[in-house]
Chains A and B, each alone.
Chain A
Amino acid sequence: MPPRTRTRTRARGLSAFSIVAFIAAVVLLALFPKFVENPYAVHLMVTFFLAVIMGEAWNLIGGYGGQYSVGHAAYFGIGAYTVLVLLQTNGVAPWWGLLPALALALGVAAIVGSITFRLRGPYFVLASIAVAEIFRLVALNWKSATNGAEGILLSGVPPIVIGGTEIVNFSSKVPFYYMGLALAVLTVLVTVWFQGSKLGYYLQAIREDQDAANSLGIPLTFYKNIALMISAFFTAWAGALYGLYVGFIDPQTAVGLDISVQIVLTAIIGGIGTVFGPVVGAAILVALSEALRSNAITDLLVAGGLVSETSSIGIFLKDHLSHAHMLIYGFLVAIVILFMPDGVLGAVNNAARRRRARAAAGGAR
């Protein structure tokens, strides 16, 4: 019997196990701030949620559609800048400011898509970078609105007040935690819907073979544009949330190439074109880069007796390693591309599939 290469049938959606695990995880995460009050832990989780939102959003066009945009910082920046500029200079409450921000992201995505989706492969990647750089330069030079390189420092996020009573107060990180969680769950649900929809099928067909897809009646640019718009919508939302949460943005941290690269890597490392790949990628990236940033790795080496804290190596690591947390992104992406091109989740699935195939072959004998 030949090795069976059965696919997990996509159209029937997630397995029962995934659904139960997902609901359990969401319930646990919803209860998390009730039991853990450590602001650092809450902060890490908000960072994780933001990474999930952006990874899932990119996954729609990049993972399912195979259109590797390395310019999603443009949409992230649009979200962050629109909301913060409106709040800081015009006093527009963020939940109102979010509407023009998201509308702008949709509009820009439609225009950018119509232009760049005529290009294929590496040319598309280059064009997406150029577009994002143009937005960064606009943020840098349009000083009257964006305050240029100095960036925007929020003086505070106004509380949500309904009928004279304060509903949400943003003095702690917890409201951001719940907003992040809600949006992360929403993007996962959107991905589940997307995967089983006509749109999702069409994007996967486009990823596999554009000419074949076109011959089967798929207008390529139209469907790529729709997927890019959904992707940009959630990326901009994440940008707005990020800006409000951190309280400071500048062209480099809100529209820089590093943002685009981090978004792509989140999806790639976890595994593209899967519902939970970006979640896995976000967990790995956030955990590892925080471990570097917070010197946890050096502490571990010291605790393990491998390096003395007072030795020159120990001092060197403490001084430098925290500044180079992007290093881990570099190594991770190299490892993933070289050794597990389907991402971490893909590698796990492949191994499981091989095991099943072996078991089936063994049983048949």
Chain B
Amino acid sequence: MSETDSPILDIQHVSKQFGGLAANSDVSFSMTEGMILGLIGPNGAGKTTLFNCITGYYPPTKGDVIFKGKRLNGMTPDQVCKLGMVRTWQKVRPLAKLSVIDNVVVGALVRTGSVPEAREIAREQLHVVKLAHKADFLAGGLPIGERKKLEVARVLATKPDLLLLDEVMGGLNPAESEDIIQLILEIKQRGLTQMVIEHDMKAIMRISDRIVVLNSGEKLAEGAPLEIVSNPEVVTAYLGEAHT
């Protein structure tokens, strides 16, 4: 275990260019163990690109990502997952022709070679997200709310230290969103660290310990939720736009 004050994730001057287009430029922040960090910003601010850079989908053009003291540059997503960092997808990606439990078993198998053991882990995680009753259903047939929960169960089964949740409340009704909020808080109770991309400002203010605001690929502001809502720059660039 690392000391509590040394960061679990340290993002240092990360830039990502696609051709001439800068999707992220010089983004730096860090996360300490057990915290929930909210990542917000208008559409196209580079939030998902940052997720992709952190989790190894493509290497950052410049800068470093340091997770649990290890530099991740050049690592592939599967290696990053084995180290204990795993992400969900904004557009859910269930393994459609596999059953719900088998989807979670796939996640669990990263920590064990035994399928029966993986099924045990999978069953537990389905209980956590309250999907146990759907275990034998085809994942492709689930409604959106349950697909989002399945994504969370699947990443939890990989026994991560850090979860990156990309709009897990997107497209959900208020009751379903509330379920997810409770789930995120419960995961926090278990000591896991989470970075959350979310559009629902009320939700993000409620759950986040700290918030990073991205705008046009750059970090616009960082602080506690209350500081962020009263930051005039954020209000004009992002909240102002949302409130008009």
Contacts and interface: CB of A to CB of B under 8 A. Distances in A.
Interface in B99-119: 99, 102, 105-107, 109-110, 113-116, 118-119
Contacts of A208: 94-98
A218 B97 CA distance: 18
Interface residues of B, number: 37
Contact of B107 (A196, A211, A216): A216
Interface residues of A, number: 28
Contacts of A11: 102, 105, 115-116, 119
Contacts of B109: 198, 201-202, 217
Contacts of A217: 78, 81-82, 86, 107, 109-110, 158
Contacts of A214: 76-78
B154 A198 contact: no
Interface string A202-224: 10110111011111111110000
A5 interface: yes
Given A7-B99, A217-B158, A201 B93 contact: no
Nearest to B95: A208
Given A198-B109, A198-B113, A209-B93, A9 B158 contact: no
A6 interface: yes
A205 B106 contact: yes
B191 interface: no
Nearest to A198: B109
A9 B78 contact: no
Interface in A1-59: 4-7, 9-11
Given A6-B137, A9-B99, A211 B78 contact: no
Contacts of A9: 99, 136
Interface in A281-322: none
B102 A215 contact: no
A197 interface: yes
B11 interface: no
Contacts of A218: 78, 106, 110
B137 A215 contact: no
A204 B98 contact: yes
B10 to A, nearest CB: 21
Given A9-B136, A201-B106, A215 B95 contact: no
Given A197-B115, A212-B95, A219 B137 contact: no
Interface of B: 55, 57, 76-79, 81-82, 86-87, 89, 93-99, 102, 105-107, 109-110, 113-116, 118-119, 136-138, 141, 154-155, 158
- For the complex of A and B, list the 5 residue pairs with the smallest distance between their C-beta atoms, beginning with the closest: A217-B110, A217-B81, A208-B95, A212-B93, A7-B99
8 contacts: A5-B137, A7-B138, A196-B115, A204-B98, A205-B98, A215-B89, A216-B110, A218-B78
Given A198-B114, A204-B106, A209-B93, 20 more contacts: A7-B98, A7-B137, A7-B138, A11-B102, A197-B115, A198-B118, A204-B102, A208-B98, A211-B89, A211-B93, A212-B93, A214-B77, A215-B89, A216-B106, A216-B154, A217-B78, A217-B82, A217-B158, A218-B78, A273-B97
